[in-house]
Structure 1
Amino acid sequence: MHHTVHPTRRTVLRALAASPLLLLAPAPVAAAQSSVGSADLAAGSFGRGDLDTTSAPDWMRSLPDATSLAALSLPGTHDTMAHNSSIPTLTQEFDLATQLRAGVRALDIRTRHFRDVFPIHHGPEYLYANFTDVVRTVTDFLRAHPGESVLVRLKEEFTAAENTRSYQATLDWYIHENPDTRDLLDQHLWTPPVGYDGRIPGLGETRGKIVVLQDFTATTAYGPRWAGPRTDIQDDFELPDLAAITGKWDRARTQFERAAVGDPTTLFVNHLSATGATPAVMATGTVPITVAKGVPGTPGMLTRAEDYLRTASTGRTGVVMADFPTAALVEEIIGRNVS
């Protein structure tokens, strides 16, 4: 399959050396280890993430079947599959299987429609994974943990090219025809009932299932509409500089407060993630990892969210979409669910 090629590690390092992002790793050390992955490179200054140190593979199992997914507090990952991409697009440190094992139950899966299949992208960058990989990993997890449900924002990403059919037709091919995915999705994909009105389903009908949050154009419903009437989303994702993290946090905190008291049938979504305005991200140093983890003098979104959830009154968080989520953040969100 043809795809967009990553910048070479040396190209990335040269860009880092010329920008405020030099703090990610000392250039001489990184150059000597040119085969290192982006997540490892980024960890050179920020410290290795700890999401793999927590384990909550069955946290939904004890919750009542009557519970709406909208009424839950759900840890999520923004650009879920971007765990070994170039520095400007890197959003995660751990692969999908590790995220699910840690307790993450909301995924952000971005599919480019290219040559009648779905490679996974972050913008123009191919992430060396395809939709089949996502389906296999999530259904493997659900087969082992049948009490869980996984929300998947399925988004059409970048530009479609060299296709003979619509995006919807290719998705239907994965669901009904592709031998690598059809049986898995037949068992583990939640299908809206006849006359579906867009409601957020309950746990009893979605255990062991993938629930699509539909962020693509189609003539039929595959699940609740992303940014539709049953959702309330905070996604202020573009910041001019690192000083703007404070304003971003103000909007995220407000969304936490709204979710805690809002309509229990509405799916509240709160993005902790943000990045700089393209193409200046390398010049300003405002890339996902600096927004998430902060820099000297400017606490990142993760620290702010962890502190808030530890000290704020109890209540639903809704779906919390994070870049580089920590074990503490995931544990705090899961802890908001009362069995």
Structure 2
Amino acid sequence: MPFTRIGLRTLLVTSVTASLTAALLIPPATAEARGAPVESGAAGAAEASTADWMAGLPDGASLASLSVPGTHDTGAWTGTVWSRTQDMELSRQLESGVRALDVRTRHYRDAFPIHHGAEYLHLNFTDVVTDTAVFLSEHPTETVLMRLKKEHTEEENTRTYEETLDHYIESDPETAPLLAEHLWRPSGGERVPDLGEVRGKIVILQDFDAGKGYGIRWGGASTDIQDDYRVPTLFDIPDKWEKARSHFERTADGAPETLYINHLSGSGAPWANPREVATGGPGFRGVNDHARPYLSRSAAEGTLPRTGVVMADFPDQELIGAVIGHNRTVAAQRS
């Protein structure tokens, strides 16, 4: 049986009333982020302030110069305790300010079901393309970085992974029209584009082998990545955070044309699952708990010029906002 598409989610139309400055000067943790009760209107305003945060950044700013919140294993808002890495589904992640996605595609029966390891997440590439395209249509000033990674085993295919991706881009009646409008197609050698070139577009971070380039190569000459995900026990969380913190310092001092990518995520079966590593447990602070005050302080004090792309498990609005807040310097270049 072929995989069935999950139905299109209801389009969320937000009235963005916050100014650009308000969007970038993200306030301290909202009541929702702290786990306190929150009025529905306040939650809507918080989403509106982050849905268009790229709007006031200059077109000439390289994506490498930005501070970009992202989600590790973006599609894993369902699944077992060892597979689940997110609480928000994709459309909510995007409205909350996330602009970097980690899309794990298994090549199965000439299609791309979304997996975390061996576990199918009841989501397919068509759903990811549709939800991302809907968001970009409603928010054309934004761009979305999308890591595409081969996941698990390839089985029962009549074509290569590259040929199946080309089918989605060129022929599939559901995705081809959307990607024709919203997929950035690089020309010339590998490079990190400027924001003005890719507004309203998906920029692929290519984590698979192919005969041609589809975007920016993951692990290529234009990227510098920290992704040491091994956290054997909760006692190893401080060591994981130290690796992430060191990479933030490396990003601050690094080549301006390089896209730095820093993973806060980690796991260590059977003693530390992704949620415990991210959010902690009794007597333990999670990696997000270390990152949140560090990034909030460095955004307020201007001590970290950019964070690069920050990939996280279970990010809350405060953590997302702390990353976005580092774009003040870039925004000032527009005035």
Shorter-chain TM-score category? Answer: 0.7 to 0.9
- For residue 290 of structure 1, what is the aligned residue in structure 2? 276
- For residue 307 of structure 1, what is the aligned residue in structure 2? 293
1:298 to 1:121, Cα distance in 2 relative to 1, 3 A: same
Letter in 1 for 2:81: I
- 1:210 equivalent among 202, 215, 234: 202
- For residue 150 of structure 1, what is the aligned residue in structure 2? 144
- 1:76 equivalent among 70, 82, 92: 70
Q: Is the 8 A contact 2:231 2:277 kept in 1?
A: no
- 1:184 equivalent among 178, 183, 200: 178
How far apart, CA to CA, are the structure 2 residues paired with 1:59 and 1:261? 25
Q: Is the 8 A contact 1:49 1:326 kept in 2?
A: no
How far apart, CA to CA, are the structure 2 residues paired with 1:336 and 1:127? 33
Q: Is the 8 A contact 2:102 2:147 kept in 1?
A: yes
Question: Under a length normalisation based on structure 1, what TM-score does the superposition of the two structures give?
Answer: 0.82
How far apart, CA to CA, are the structure 1 residues paired with 2:98 and 2:35? 21
Share of identical aligned residues, percent? 53
Question: Under a length normalisation based on structure 2, what TM-score does the superposition of the two structures give?
Answer: 0.83
Letter in 2 for 1:197: G
1:1-339 map, 5 Å: 1=1, 54-55=46-47, 56-193=50-187, 196-276=188-268, 281-282=269-270, 284=271, 286-312=272-298, 313-338=303-328, 339=331
Cα deviation per residue 1:221-255 (whole Å; 9 max; x = unaligned)? 00010011110000010122111111101100001
CA positional deviation for 1:212? 0.2
Which is worse superposed, 329-338 or 303-312? 303-312
* Structure 1 outlier segments of 4+, above 2 Å: 46-50
Cα deviation per residue 1:72-128 (whole Å; 9 max; x = unaligned)? 000000000100111111100010000000000000000000000000000000000
Letter in 2 for 1:109: V
Letter in 1 for 2:93: Q
- For residue 12 of structure 2, what is the aligned residue in structure 1? none
Letter in 2 for 1:269: I
Q: Secondary structure at the match of 1:133?
A: helix
- For residue 8 of structure 1, what is the aligned residue in structure 2? none
How far apart, CA to CA, are the structure 1 residues paired with 2:267 and 2:107? 24
How far apart, CA to CA, are the structure 2 residues paired with 1:238 and 1:250? 13
Q: Is the 8 A contact 2:251 2:308 kept in 1?
A: yes
Letter in 1 for 2:290: R
How far apart, CA to CA, are the structure 1 residues paired with 2:184 and 2:251? 25
How far apart, CA to CA, are the structure 1 residues paired with 2:153 and 2:220? 23
Q: Is the 8 A contact 1:49 1:93 kept in 2?
A: no
- For residue 17 of structure 1, what is the aligned residue in structure 2? none
Q: Is the 8 A contact 2:129 2:175 kept in 1?
A: yes
CA positional deviation for 1:47? 6.4
How far apart, CA to CA, are the structure 1 residues paired with 2:2 and 2:285? 40
How far apart, CA to CA, are the structure 2 residues paired with 1:156 and 1:49? 40
- For residue 28 of structure 1, what is the aligned residue in structure 2? none
How far apart, CA to CA, are the structure 2 residues paired with 1:145 and 1:310? 26
1:48 to 1:183, Cα distance in 2 relative to 1, 3 A: farther
CA positional deviation for 1:317? 0.2
Gaps of 5+ in 1: 4-45
Number of corresponding residues? 288
Q: Is the 8 A contact 2:244 2:262 kept in 1?
A: yes
Q: Secondary structure at the match of 1:87?
A: coil
How far apart, CA to CA, are the structure 2 residues paired with 1:226 and 1:334? 22
